[in-house]
A and B are shown apart, each in its own frame.
Chain A
Amino acid sequence: GAVVSQHPSWVICKSGTSVKIECRSLDFQATTMFWYRQFPKQSLMLMATSNEGSKATYEQGVEKDKFLINHASLTLSTLTVTSAHPEDSSFYICSARERTAYSNQPQHFGDGTRLSIL
């Protein structure tokens, strides 16, 4: 159980293109989804927290107009990298936390999206 699907797994595109990444919880409902970015040999850095039906909460230093997040349903969140540039090339990973009555619930991660901007 607790499967999170992330699509696409790898994207290569030209500078200036906008790229949309989807994150789906397949067998559970997630009121909260998270978007991370990982640089080589670094830990996962939280970019934003996405709550179903409301605006995402962005971490300090993350441009909300650059990284658009939509959490339209309890099973889907999308991250759109607008007008991507080479410095946006990175590994983006989403996670989802199951909606339950228990306070301590782990986040379950997708397999990530390798974004390469030429």
Chain B
Amino acid sequence: DQQVKQNSPSLSVQEGRISILNCDYTNSMFDYFLWYKKYPAEGPTFLISISSIKDKNEDGRFTVFLNKSAKHLSLHIVPSQPGDSAVYFCAASAQRYGGSQGNLIFGKGTKLSVKP
């Protein structure tokens, strides 16, 4: 049973427009959410995170929104650039519970292509 779901395997966006990547989760104990970006043959790079006490976190072109009631989070990239083309993974953990529950659970990723 997948606890973190990224239902769109791919997304194509024009340069300069907004990219919106979505993620849904099922475990209500999750309290920390992260987005990672991954290029082929490289490890994931941490992008941005959000704690469950917030509903928005912004860092430059990247904004993460959290809707706890819907168990949904999204990553907005604006404006999108060709260099943003990569696979984006959503991850979640239940940090306040510690132990193995603090481990990251990853979605399957969404491949973003930003076209010039």
Contact = CB atoms under 8 A, between A and B. Distances in A.
Interface of A: 2, 4, 6, 9, 34, 41-44, 46, 49, 57, 93, 95, 103-104, 106-112, 114
A50 to B, nearest CB: 12
B96 A93 contact: no
Interface in B67-93: 89
B20 interface: no
Given A43-B108, A43-B109, A104 B32 contact: yes
Given A43-B89, A93-B44, A104 B108 contact: no
Contacts of A95: 43
Contacts, number: 53
B7 interface: no
Interface residues of B, number: 23
Nearest to B48: A106
Given A43-B89, A44-B89, 16 more contacts: A6-B43, A43-B109, A44-B44, A46-B104, A46-B105, A49-B100, A49-B103, A57-B100, A103-B96, A104-B49, A104-B51, A106-B46, A107-B104, A108-B46, A111-B41, A114-B41
25 contacts: A9-B41, A34-B103, A42-B108, A43-B106, A44-B104, A46-B103, A46-B104, A46-B105, A49-B103, A93-B43, A93-B44, A95-B43, A103-B95, A103-B96, A104-B49, A104-B51, A106-B46, A106-B49, A107-B34, A107-B46, A107-B104, A109-B43, A112-B41, A112-B43, A114-B41
